[in-house]
Amino acid sequence: MKVRTYRQRDLVCTEYFLEVPLDHRRPDGEHIEVYAREVVDAAKADANLPRLLFLQGGPGGKGHRPKDRSSWLGRALEDFRVVILDQRGTGLSTPANRQTLARRGGPEAQAEYLSHFRADAIVADAERLRRELQGDEPWSVLGQSFGGFCTLTYLSFAPEGLREAFITGGLPGLSSTADEVYRLTYQRTVERNLAYFARHPADRELCARIVRHLREKDVRLPTGERLSPRRFQSLGMRLGMRADFDALHYLLEEAFVDGVDGPELSDTFLAGVGAAVSFATNPLYAVLHEAIYCQGTASAWSAERLYAERPEFALDDDTPFLFTGEMIYPFFFAEDPALVPLREAADLLAAKDDWPRLYDPDRLARNEVPTFAAIYYDDMYVPRELSLQTAAAVGRLTPWITNEHDHDGLRVADVLDHLLTLARQAP
C-alpha cells in the first residue's frame, strides 16, 4: 500500500492507495486501485483515536474533499480519525468513465466490468483497507445516503469489521425492487414539487414557458448537445436537498433574455442547466443507479417505465409542470455526452437479472453491532416507508425519525452530533 501525508490548515491528512481485486471472489484475477484519505485534527495527530470510515452517497460519488472542519467533519474529528473512501471507480481510485471504459472493449466487456462496482465490492474494499490499517480491530462507520446502503451490506456480510454504525438518510428496503422504490419516490417528488411551487408560484408558468421554447427551438448547451424538454425537467434531481431547494429558483429567474429574434434562453441559464444535468463528474451514478436496488432481478429501466404511468409528469400544455427527481432515464444516454458512449453497456446492465444479493435479512435480524440511523420523514430519495420497515427488522438499530431535516441533513445540520449522543447514551 502506498502512503503519503501532508498538512492542510489545522488538519493532518494521510493518503492511502491500495490494490484490491476487481472481483473479490477471484483474488488472483485483475486488480484495481482504491484511494482513501485519513483526516485527523492536527492537535490530536499523535493521539490514539479510533477510526471512523465515511461512506459517501451515490452511487458513483467520490469521497468528501475536506477544506476545513466545517459541517459533519468537525464534529467527527472531536472523537475520531476520519477515513474517507473514494469508492471504486470514483475520485483517485481507478476511474470508471467513458474514457477509461473504452479501453476495455465493447459493451459486453464494459458491462461485465461495471457489474463489480456495487455495495458488496465497496464493502470488501473497505475490509481490505481496515485490515491494512489496523488488523483485526473493528472501526466505526458513517454512511450517508447510498453510503447507508453500503453500511447495511457491511452489517450483512462483514459485521466483525464494525464497532458501531451510523446511517444518515440511507436505510434501504432489504428486499424492495426498483419498481417498489420508484413508486414511492415519484410520489415524494410530487410532494417536493408542490412545496417548491408553493414557495415560488411564478416559476410554474416560467417552467412551462421554457418547455414550450425548447419544443420550438433548437437550444444548445455549452457542451454542444441539444437541451430537450425532458432533460430540463430532470433539474428537480436535487429538490430534496435543503441547501439546493432555492438554488433552482435563482437559476430559473435568469432564464430568458431578449435577443435579436426575440426572447431566448440566456447563456447564464444554459451554463447552469448544463452543469446541473451533466453526469461528466459522476457517470457511475447514472450507469449503476437502478442496479443498487437489484437482487436477483433486472431493473429493466424501472424509472422510465413508471414515468409512463405517472400522467402528472406529462410535458403537455394541459398538465401543470412538475420536475422529476432522482430518476435515471435511458434518454440520458442519448443526450449527455459523458454517457452516450456507455449507452449499450447501460442497456445490458438494465437487463441483467442475476445480480447477487446485497443484504442478509436473517443476519441483520441477529445484528449485534450498535447501529444508529437518522430517518428523514420527508426524504425524497430514500422512502421512509422502506426505511421504517428496515429499522424494525435490524437488531440493535436505534432509529431517529425526524421531519426537521432533509436528505442533506448531515451536511447542513447537527445530525451526526445527535447520533453520537444516542450512541454514548445507549446501555
Domain boundaries of the chain, sorted by first residue: 2-174+359-425, 178-351
- Residue from 145, 234, 299, 302 carrying the catalytic annotation: 145
**Cβ(240)–Cβ(379) below 8 Å:** yes
Q: Is 267 a catalytic residue?
A: no
Query: CA nearest 133: which of 7, 13, 6, 18?
Result: 18
Report the pLDDT value the prediction gives residue 170, as an integer from 0 to 100.
98
Report the predicted TM-score, pTM, of the whole model to 2 decimal places. 0.98
Query: CA nearest 72: which of 172, 170, 162, 168?
Result: 168
- Residue from 28, 218, 354, 362 carrying the catalytic annotation: 354
Report the pLDDT value the prediction gives residue 178, as an integer from 0 to 100.
98
Q: What is the pLDDT along the chain (427 residues), one digit of tens a residue?
A: 999 999 998 999 999 999 999 999 999 999 999 999 999 999 999 999 999 999 999 999 999 999 888 889 999 999 999 999 999 999 999 999 999 999 999 999 999 999 999 999 999 999 999 999 999 999 999 999 999 999 999 999 999 999 999 999 999 999 999 999 999 999 999 999 999 999 999 999 999 999 999 999 999 999 999 999 999 999 999 999 999 999 999 999 999 999 999 999 999 999 999 999 999 999 999 999 999 999 999 999 999 999 999 999 999 999 999 999 999 999 999 999 999 999 999 999 999 999 999 999 999 999 999 999 999 999 999 999 999 999 999 999 999 999 999 999 999 779 999 999 999 998 7
- Between the CA atoms of 125, 26, 282 and 4, what dihedral angle is there, to the nearest 10 degrees? 40
Residue written as grid cell 462496482: 117
**Cβ(181)–Cβ(383) below 8 Å:** yes
- Residue from 64, 213, 407, 418 carrying the catalytic annotation: 407
What's the CA gap between 390 and 385, in Å, rounded? 9
What's the CA gap between 88 and 126, in Å, rounded? 10
Fold of 2-174+359-425: Rossmann fold (3.40.50)
Q: Kindly tell me the sign of the dihedral angle through the C-alpha atoms of 366, 369, 374, 380.
A: negative
Report the pLDDT value the prediction gives residue 67, as an integer from 0 to 100.
86
Question: What does the pLDDT look like over 29-81, one tens digit per residue?
Answer: 999 999 999 999 999 999 999 999 999 999 999 999 998 888 899 999 999 99
